[in-house]
């Protein structure tokens, strides 16, 4: 690991403009790259701050700042008295608007999707209220089982106005990637989270026992002009996800 880290750190320093980059950003990017390509696997222990500082000729303050940034992003976990480890659970930030595919790729995992429904229909009263649509408006509905490799992690039901997404078949893996191609990627969102127990149908899809804990998240995402572009209800495995949010005093 140490030899790979030195190589990656030096490579970033030799990139165009890399010599001008702050050292902590170079270290952060080096560690993130190694997590993404699998050089650092989930649960892997990092060298101590002192060891990394000596290895890379950096100050401990610089190393600490890089590690703290990756811990805030959920890529690393710091255990008091034990050290720093590559996160073995998926830690998702509630303060950043990202999609499922982006989250998994940032952790070196392979996202996969199974579509249970892709359809177009008339908006329901609940959907019309959430999406600020008039009765009779048409919407695209996506019901997806989301995987990391072969492991089912989440069940998602998404509704998008058809005025924004004409063809549900245009979504192959990532809804946000499709919306970005259409110039309609959301810029902000409102989310609500609550703990639930999986019913029989949900547990079967996620390959868990009936009654297993899950995190239910409802998201409404908005375009810059204020239009609601997405209304999603998700169920995330309680044994695979931690959700974090950064809080600041007024």
The better pLDDT of the pair 105, 160 is held by 160
Pairing of strands 188-197, 151-161: unpaired
Total of domains in the chain? 2
Q: Which of 80, 82, 64 is nearest to 28 (CA)?
A: 64
Q: How confident is the model at residue 17 (pLDDT cuts 50, 70, 90)?
A: very low
Q: Indicate whether 142 and 118 sit together in one domain.
A: yes
Q: Given 19, 54, 86, which residue is the final one in a domain?
A: 86
CA distance 209 to 216: 17
- Percent of residues, the chain, with pLDDT higher than 90: 54
Is 178 a residue whose pLDDT tops 70?
Answer: yes
pLDDT (0 to 100) of residue 19: 42
Instruction: Based on the fold, state whether residues 37 and 126 are members of the same structural domain.
Output: no
26 in a structural domain: yes
Q: With the C-alpha atoms ordered 18, 20, 21, 26, is the resulting torsion angle positive or negative?
A: positive
pLDDT at 87: 77
User: In this structure, are 237 and 138 located in the same domain?
Assistant: yes
3-state secondary structure 53-112: HHHHCCCHHHHHHHHHHHHHCCCEEEECCCEEEECCCEEEECCCCCCHHHHHHHCCCCEE
Q: What is the pLDDT of residue 184?
A: 96
240 touches 206 (CB < 8 A): no
What mean pLDDT is predicted for residues 209-236? 96
Q: CB of 193 within 8 A of CB of 178? A: no
Look at residue 11 and tell me whether its pLDDT is greater than 60: yes
- The last residue of one of the domains, among 71, 86, 101, is 86
CA pair distance 146, 176, nearest whole angstrom:
14
pLDDT (0 to 100) of residue 13: 61
* Nearest partner of 246 among 74, 102, 87, judged by Cα: 74
What does the CA dihedral 96, 102, 104, 106 come to, rounded to 10 degrees? Answer: -80
Better pLDDT: 165 or 96 = 165
Using the predicted structure, report yes or no on whether residue 58 has a pLDDT greater than 70.
yes
The DSSP line for 160-219 is EETTT---GGG-SS-HHHHHHHTT---SEEEEEEEEEE--HHHHHHHT--TT-EEEEEEE
Give the lowest-confidence range in 5-14, 64-73, 115-124, 233-242: 5-14
165 shares a domain with 138: yes
Mean pLDDT of the chain: 88
Mean pLDDT of 234-248: 84
Same domain, 43 and 139: no
pLDDT at 60 over 70: yes
Whether 58 and 122 map to the same domain: the answer is: no
Whether 121 maps to a domain, the answer reads yes
Give the residue from 42, 64, 86 where a domain finishes.
86
Report the CATH number that the domain containing residue 219 is assigned in CATH. Answer: 3.40.1410.10
Query: Does the residue 236 lie in any domain?
Result: yes
pLDDT of residue 146: 96
Among the residue ranges 39-43, 184-188, 220-224, 229-233, the one predicted with the least confidence is 39-43
Lowest-confidence segment of 31-35, 56-60, 74-78, 149-153 by average pLDDT: 74-78
What's the pLDDT tens digit per position in 126-175? 999 999 999 999 999 999 999 988 889 999 999 999 999 999 999 999 99
CA distance linking residue 183 with residue 202, whole number of Å? 33
Query: Has residue 8 got a pLDDT over 80?
Result: no
Same domain, residue pair 60 and 113: no
- Within-domain flag for 249: no
Do 69 and 161 lie in one domain? The reply is no
What kind and span of H or E run contains 141? strand 138-148
Whether the CB-CB separation of 234 and 216 falls below 8 Å is answered with: yes
Q: Which domain holds residue 20?
A: 2-86
Same domain assignment for residues 106 and 193: yes
189 and 202 co-located in one domain: yes
68 and 164 co-located in one domain: no
Q: What is the DSSP letter of 149?
A: T
99 falls within a domain:
yes
Q: Is residue 60 domain-resident? A: yes
Q: Do 40 and 120 fall into the same domain?
A: no
């Amino acid at each position: 690991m140490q030899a790979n880290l030195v190589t990656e750190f030096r490579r970033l320093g030799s990139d165009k403009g890399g010599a001008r980059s702050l050292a902590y950003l170079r270290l952060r990017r080096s560690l993130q790259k190694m997590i993404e390509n699998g050089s650092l696997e989930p649960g892997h222990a990092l060298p101590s701050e002192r060891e990394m500082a000596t290895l890379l000729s950096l100050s401990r303050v610089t190393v600490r700042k890089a590690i703290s940034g990756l811990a805030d992003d959920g890529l690393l976990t710091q255990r008091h008295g034990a050290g720093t480890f590559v996160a073995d659970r998926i830690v998702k930030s509630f303060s950043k608007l990202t999609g499922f595919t982006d989250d998994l790729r940032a952790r070196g995992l392979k996202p996969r999707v199974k579509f249970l429904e892709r359809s177009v229909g008339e908006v329901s009263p609940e959907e019309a209220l959430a999406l600020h649509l008039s009765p009779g408006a048409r919407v695209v509905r996506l019901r997806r089982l989301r995987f990391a490799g072969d492991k089912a992690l989440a069940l998602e039901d998404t509704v998008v106005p058809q005025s924004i997404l004409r063809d549900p078949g245009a979504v192959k893996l990532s809804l946000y990637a499709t919306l970005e191609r259409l110039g309609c990627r959301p810029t902000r969102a409102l989310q609500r989270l609550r703990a639930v127990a999986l019913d029989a149908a949900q547990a079967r899809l996620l390959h868990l026992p009936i009654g297993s804990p899950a995190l239910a998240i409802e998201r409404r995402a908005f375009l810059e002009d204020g239009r609601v572009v997405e209304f999603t209800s998700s169920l995330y495995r309680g044994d695979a996800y931690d959700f974090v949010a950064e809080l600041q005093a007024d």
